[in-house]
Amino acid sequence: MTTILAVMPHPDDAEFYAGGMLALRAAQADRVLLALATDGGLGSFSMPAHELAKQRKLEAERAAAVLGIGAVDWLGHPDGGLDRLPAGQLRLEIVRLIRRHQPEVVVSLDPQDGRETHPDHRTLARAVAEALVFCHLPLFDPGPGSEHTPHLVSEKHFACDSPQLASRYIDISRTIDRKVEALLQHQSQVEFLVEDVARQAARAGLDLPSLLGGNALSAEQMLAAAVRMAAAQIGARSGFAYAEAFRVARFHPFVEQLLSEAGDA
């Protein structure tokens, strides 16, 4: 059994970026875990942040159950504030998280994605990449107890939208329905995201219902359609009906070269 640890900035990010893959691994009886850095308390046009954070925690737990995720860890930071944490704090928290769970695979966002505009996404991606450099070094944050046991993660999956970065496409045709179902558990964000799009369309002078064929689609239907469309576009690059894309890294480049040469021998 392989342990997969997904480390993401907000509730619903795991579902958007890697929900199909995580559901696949859970269905294969792997141990799938999730850690969320923030409470997601900024994603509403009307609900107070403290109320939204409580709701998002419940939604995240329900979504995790749909995907087959065994446990959700909360690092407890406020939404939108990861880039204001003291230098190195988030990296240290993630090192300790990795050492506690001892995963063979870590899944997160890609620090090489230069198009990312969300500061939480950029900060989390960089902190995870840095933590993966230090988590197996015994002199980094030494201390007693199993939570400080150094651990080398042998495979890293960085979710990415850019074809230039992607090195592995995972066929999620069998789990696209579960990915959508998990995302729909985030009801507060379904409503928020659709309202945001509708507000921007109206400001742009667009008649959104007419552009969607005149149909009065629900927020859930709109989000489900968008998620399927995005997964189909990624799948089209790889020969799958639906796919998720990752930049996969494993060992030091020298070790990778030796592995390659051994495989060619």
Asked, for residue 126, whether it belongs to a domain, the answer is yes
In the predicted model, what is the mean pLDDT of the chain? 92
Diameter of the chain by CA atoms? 63
Asked, for residue 257, whether it belongs to a domain, the answer is no
Asked, for residue 261, whether it belongs to a domain, the answer is no
Element spanning 220, H or E = helix 219-236
CA distance 157 to 139: 26
Asked, for residue 178, whether it belongs to a domain, the answer is yes
Q: Is the pTM of this model over 0.95?
A: no
Three-class SS of residue 152?
A: coil
Asked, for residue 29, whether it belongs to a domain, the answer is yes
Which has more pLDDT, 231 or 148? 231
Asked, for residue 264, whether it belongs to a domain, the answer is no
Q: Structural domain of residue 117, as residue ranges?
A: 3-252
CB atoms within 10 A of CB 230: 14
CATH of the domain at 17: 3.40.50.10320
Q: What percent of the chain has pLDDT over 70?
A: 94
Asked, for residue 115, whether it belongs to a domain, the answer is yes
Distance of CA 192 to the CA centre of its chain: 19
Query: Which residues neighbour 223 within 8 Å (Cβ) at sequence distance 6 or greater?
Result: 183, 184, 190, 193, 194
What tens digit of pLDDT does each residue of 32-72 get?
A: 999 999 999 999 999 999 999 999 999 999 999 999 999 99
CA distance 125 to 119: 10
Whether pLDDT at 129 is above 60: yes
* pLDDT at residue 201, as a whole number: 86
Please tell me the total count of domains within the chain: 1
With b for 16 or more beta-carbon neighbours within 10 A and e for fewer, the 28-57 pattern comes to eebbbbbbbbbbbbbbbeebebeebbebbb
Q: For residue 214, what pLDDT band results from cuts at 50, 70 and 90?
A: low
Q: Which amino acid is at 246?
A: F
> Which phi and psi angles does 8 have, rounded to 5°?
-130, 160
Asked, for residue 90, whether it belongs to a domain, the answer is yes
Rg of the chain over all Cα atoms, to the nearest angstrom: 19
